[in-house]
């Protein structure tokens, strides 16, 4: 099956890129909840899924709105206002979704086989329930994405900057043809091969919004809601390397500045961990680890993210740059 999105000169002029936290929410939740052993995200899912189960997120609103395959509720992915929107901004836009649009999306989900009873409250009172959906998404973000966001964001932004440079050097047609093996540019039309649904200009507004995603692979995903511009989420360049353990080349130099214990903690935080886990891995007391982490957090080198009764610590992009210059 092949669908085509026609382009005028105005559509090309309004084509842009954006990094969308909400697209990462829905695509990552699908993997964590339904495909936890899927490469290349199995390492991440193995860490995250137990947290989601403990928090009940495997049976909440996201579980109903993000099935294991096929259609995703469009209201979960409002049009980003700029190239790098925050999660808060996208959730604010989602909370403002019209009742009619929400119910249309629920109709589509039910036609695709989602249990109608799970969506009943949202259908009856979207204005009351949407804030609850947003609250659940914020919890999911804190457990599943925030501790890893520095490395995810780095890949997404690098993809945008690379493709913007390619547009400047080679033009839009070449960039559109290189997004994914199922996407090609052909005589003024962007064609999507083997898509389960059509993406045509009469379904959406002008332009095109291109959204790199770490979790979209192995496919491209679309949103087409008039009068918004159509959205196409595609696998970002380098997405497969996000979870690979990274060797450090500058530990000794960092230790000379921060001290060997703090440098060791930063090295251990290649994946987020709790104080107890770090103490066990590094041979330190929990109290000592806690003191070091407070100092590292104050210096902007680690961030803290609550996971149930414990707190997970993660390296920031600044710390990554120190360890991997």
* CA dist., res. 56 & res. 225, Å (int): 31
- Predicted confidence at residue 201, as pLDDT, reads 63
**Locate tokens 């999911």: which residue?**
140
For the chain, 325 residues long, give each residue's pLDDT as a single digit of tens. 555 677 777 777 788 899 999 999 999 999 999 987 878 899 899 989 999 999 999 999 999 999 988 888 999 999 998 889 999 999 999 999 999 999 999 999 999 888 888 899 999 999 999 999 999 999 999 999 998 898 899 899 999 988 888 888 877 778 888 888 778 777 777 777 755 555 666 676 788 889 999 999 888 888 888 888 889 999 999 888 888 766 566 677 887 888 888 988 888 888 888 898 888 878 788 888 999 999 999 999 999 988 777 788 988 888 888 887 6
Q: Is residue 165 classed exposed, middle or buried when 0-12, 13-18 and 19+ CB atoms within 10 A define those classes?
A: exposed
Contact 300, 318 (CB under 8 A): yes
Q: What per-residue confidence (pLDDT) applies to 245?
A: 66
pLDDT at 109: 92
> Other C-beta atoms within 10 Å of 124: how many?
11
- Given this model, what pLDDT does residue 196 score? 52
Domains along the sequence of the chain with CATH? 2-241 (no CATH), 251-323 (1.10.10.10)
Residues belonging to the chain: 325
- pLDDT at site 107: 94
Question: β-strand 231-235 against 208-213: which pairing, if any?
Answer: parallel
For residues 269 and 257, is the Cβ–Cβ distance under 8 A? Answer: no
Q: Which residues pair with 183 in a beta bridge?
A: 192
Take residue 282 and report the two structure tokens written for it: 């590094």
The whole-model pTM stands at 0.81
Burial class (CB in 10 A: 0-12, 13-18, 19+), 315: buried
């Amino acid at each position: 099956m092949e669908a085509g999105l026609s382009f005028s000169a105005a559509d090309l002029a309004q084509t842009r890129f954006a990094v969308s936290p909400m697209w990462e929410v829905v695509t990552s939740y699908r993997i964590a909840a339904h495909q936890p052993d899927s490469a290349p995200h199995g390492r991440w899912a193995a860490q995250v899924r137990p947290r989601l189960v403990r928090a009940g997120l495997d049976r909440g609103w996201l579980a109903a709105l993000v099935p294991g395959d096929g259609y995703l509720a469009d209201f979960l992915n409002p049009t980003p206002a700029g190239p790098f929107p925050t999660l808060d901004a996208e959730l604010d836009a989602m909370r403002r979704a019209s009742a009619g649009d929400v119910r249309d999306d629920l109709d589509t989900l039910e036609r695709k086989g989602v249990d109608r009873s799970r969506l009943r409250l949202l259908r009856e009172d979207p204005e009351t329930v949407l804030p609850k959906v947003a609250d659940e998404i914020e919890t999911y973000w804190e457990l599943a994405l925030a501790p890893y966001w520095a490395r995810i964001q780095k890949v997404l932004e690098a993809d945008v900057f690379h493709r913007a440079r390619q547009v400047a050097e080679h033009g839009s047609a070449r960039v559109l043809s290189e997004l994914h093996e199922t996407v090609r540019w052909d005589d003024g039309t962007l064609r999507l091969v083997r898509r389960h649904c059509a993406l045509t200009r009469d379904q959406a507004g002008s332009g095109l919004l291109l959204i790199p995603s770490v979790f979209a692979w192995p496919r491209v995903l679309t949103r087409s809601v008039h009068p918004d511009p159509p959205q196409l989420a595609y696998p970002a360049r380098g997405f497969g390397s996000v979870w690979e353990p990274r060797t450090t080349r500058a530990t000794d130099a960092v230790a000379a500045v921060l001290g060997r214990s703090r440098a060791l903690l930063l090295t251990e935080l290649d994946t987020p961990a709790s104080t107890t886990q770090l103490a066990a891995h590094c041979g330190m007391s929990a109290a000592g680890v806690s003191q070091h982490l407070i100092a590292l957090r104050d210096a902007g080198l680690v961030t803290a993210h609550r996971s149930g009764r414990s707190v997970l610590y993660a390296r920031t992009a600044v710390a990554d740059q120190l360890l991997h210059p």
